[in-house]
């Protein structure tokens, strides 16, 4: 029995590490910010046509009237008793005001009149491969990030300031490496902002070292609502936040009319899922018209036998209540395998489609071809047709000499440069636009003030985006997807949908 538990524990550790690595690039699984008419020929002002000669002979001039004949009355007469208005001269054109020159100063920590110093953090995938023997294809992110920083500088930087970047990898197992890197960037280097942040069970908590302890701008990670509020606008992310993924998925089901077809829904969460998340998704489902007769939480996620028994109890309770669909909150392969194997007739709803990306390599244990699994995703496929993504690919390929292709087009064993390119392309676009909206006096305060008034915010790969002081996750685009067991692909059913 002990040997069985030890093997189970080792397998669970390897699964958690693999899931960690996939979560780091989840947003990359899967608009045009061209200058529009800039550079196009400008229309010329229309001129009045010259009078043309009539054909044939000229008409004779009219004869002058006899002296005693009255002058002909004007076509439009003034009202009785009113004097005819005196002819007026055309007003002089008002000259265009001369724009005031932009004055750049040393406005804040990491910001001088010439440059903005930013930090960049990323998981050391190479070390994960060598130290843990994980078969991860992802290449480290630093080179792609620096290539795009150079490109932005060639375009003029941020209102004339150059971007200077310090890019370093960290070890995501435990918090020590992340903590040391946080202190280096915020205290030693004194950057204005950090892009990338920290992820993983041990390192994710270190993000507050950046946003709260050192009050530094951060783009990256996945903050809880309380962490985002404590950051006071200094923490911005590109993907949908964990809290909003539930509401976004319910919105997708409602917009596509699926709520009415699902029947009674049972919500099953795992221990560790935030209580507020479970309560909010239940309220949202009911508000959308769904019946939710059973809300359950697994208490023994680390014990296989206990979890299996608990799922059997939940299923029996659900069938008594007439449940036809199950929404899964949180991650637990043991929970899911038991449900799939014993209730293949249920429709399964997974709010966080990014976290089941491993299904594209192998279906999960217990799942059968006839079982319906619905999820919401940012992209139906990788957004290679987005011109903004194409621009980033060209820049990174030219600078690094590597070929960037989406993972679904890669041969087995090929190195995967897509997440490095995509994350840098997306995060730098957000940073530059907000920093420009903050104006020449760039500080923490002007940055926060700029949230919500970025003109025409554009994020590569996303069709619908918005950022406000009370909404720090940019992505508002979702697709309704269904898992195809035979092809191991998620098939698009509807979208893109705006869930902002």
Residues 229 and 109 in one domain: yes
pLDDT tens string 143-186? 999 999 999 999 999 999 999 999 999 999 889 999 999 999 99
Residues 412 and 433 in one domain: yes
Is the pTM above the cut of 0.85?
Answer: no
Residues 366 and 388 in one domain: no
The least confident of 240-249, 273-282, 299-308 is 273-282
The pLDDT of residue 242: 80
349: confidence class by pLDDT, cuts 50, 70, 90? very high
| pLDDT over 90 (residue 408) | no
Alpha-carbon distance 482 to 328, whole Å?
15
The contacts found for 209-218 with CB under 8 angstroms, 24 or more apart, are: 209/178, 209/179, 209/182, 209/183, 210/182, 210/185, 210/186, 211/235, 213/186, 214/182, 214/186, 214/187, 215/444, 216/185, 216/186, 216/191, 216/192, 217/192, 217/193, 217/444, 217/447, 218/193, 218/194
Residues 212 and 309 in one domain: no
Residues 361 and 390 in one domain: no
Q: Is the dihedral of CA 401, 406, 409, 415 positive or negative?
A: positive
Flag whether 341 is in a domain: yes
Q: Report which secondary-structure segment, H or E, holds 305.
A: helix 304-320
Alpha-carbon distance 6 to 9, whole Å?
5
- The enclosing domain of 433 has a CATH number of 3.40.50.2300
The pLDDT of residue 41: 36
Flag whether 471 is in a domain: no
Residues 348 and 392 in one domain: no
| pLDDT over 60 (residue 24) | no
327: confidence class by pLDDT, cuts 50, 70, 90? very high
Alpha-carbon distance 298 to 310, whole Å?
7
Residues 387 and 371 in one domain: no
Residues 206 and 275 in one domain: no
Flag whether 87 is in a domain: no
Flag whether 35 is in a domain: no
Residue 278 Cα distances to 134, 269, 310, 340, 356, angstroms: 33, 7, 18, 21, 19
Residues 364 and 493 in one domain: yes
Instruction: Say what percent of the chain tops pLDDT 70.
Output: 79
Residues 165 and 265 in one domain: no
| pLDDT over 90 (residue 85) | no
The pLDDT of residue 135: 84
Q: Which has the closest alpha carbon to 379: 418, 417, 344, 345?
A: 418
Flag whether 343 is in a domain: yes
Flag whether 469 is in a domain: no
Range of the domain at 149: 103-238+383-462
pLDDT tens string 461-488? 999 999 998 899 999 999 999 999 999 9
Residues 373 and 387 in one domain: no
Flag whether 318 is in a domain: yes
Instruction: For the chain, give the mean pLDDT.
Output: 83
């Amino acid at each position: 029995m002990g040997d069985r538990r030890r093997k189970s524990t080792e397998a669970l550790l390897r699964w958690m590490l693999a899931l960690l690595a996939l979560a780091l690039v989840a947003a990359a699984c899967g608009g045009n910010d061209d200058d529009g008419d800039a550079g196009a020929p400008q229309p010329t002002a229309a001129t009045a046509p010259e009078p043309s000669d009539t054909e044939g002979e000229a008409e004779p001039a009219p004869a002058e009237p006899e002296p005693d004949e009255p002058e002909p009355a004007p076509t439009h007469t003034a009202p009785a008793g009113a004097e005819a208005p005196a002819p007026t001269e055309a007003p002089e054109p008002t000259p265009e005001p001369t724009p005031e020159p932009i004055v750049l100063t040393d406005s804040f920590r990491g910001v001088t009149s010439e440059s903005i110093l930013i930090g960049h953090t990323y998981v050391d995938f190479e070390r994960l491969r060598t130290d843990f023997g994980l078969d991860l294809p992802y290449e480290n992110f630093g080179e792609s990030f620096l290539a795009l920083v150079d490109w932005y500088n060639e375009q003029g930087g941020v209102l004339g300031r150059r971007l200077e970047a310090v890019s370093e990898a960290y070890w995501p197992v435990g918090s020590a490496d992340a903590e040391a890197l946080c202190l280096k960037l915020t205290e030693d280097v004194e950057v204005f902002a950090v892009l990338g942040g920290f992820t993983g069970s041990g390192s994710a908590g270190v993000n507050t070292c950046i946003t709260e302890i050192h009050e530094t701008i951060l783009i990256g990670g996945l903050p809880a609502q309380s962490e985002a509020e404590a950051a006071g606008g200094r923490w911005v992310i590109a993907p949908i936040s964990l809290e909003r993924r539930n509401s976004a998925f319910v919105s997708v089901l409602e917009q596509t009319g699926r709520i009415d077809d699902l029947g009674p829904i049972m919500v099953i969460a795992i221990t560790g899922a935030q209580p507020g998340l479970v309560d909010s998704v239940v309220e949202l489902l009911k508000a959308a018209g769904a019946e939710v007769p059973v809300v359950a939480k697994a208490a023994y996620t680390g014990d296989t036998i206990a979890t299996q028994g608990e799922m059997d109890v939940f299923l029996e309770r659900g069938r008594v209540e007439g449940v036809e669909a199950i929404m899964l909150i949180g991650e637990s392969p043991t929970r899911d395998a038991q449900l799939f194997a014993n209730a293949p007739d249920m429709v399964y709803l997974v709010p966080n489609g990014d976290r089941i990306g491993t299904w594209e390599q192998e279906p999960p244990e217990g799942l059968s071809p006839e079982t319906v699994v619905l999820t919401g995703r940012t992209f139906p496929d990788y957004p290679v047709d987005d011109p903004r993504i194409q621009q980033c690919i060209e820049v990174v390929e030219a600078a690094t000499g590597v070929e960037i292709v989406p993972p679904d087009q890669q041969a087995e064993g090929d190195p995967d440069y897509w997440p490095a390119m995509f994350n840098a392309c997306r995060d730098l676009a957000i940073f530059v636009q907000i920093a420009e909206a903050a104006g020449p006096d760039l500080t923490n305060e002007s940055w926060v003030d700029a949230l919500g008034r970025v003109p025409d915010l554009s994020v590569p790969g996303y069709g619908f985006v918005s950022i406000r002081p009370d909404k720090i996750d940019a992505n508002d685009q979702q697709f309704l997807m269904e898992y195809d067991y035979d092809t191991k692909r998620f098939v698009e059913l509807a979208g893109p949908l705006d869930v902002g």
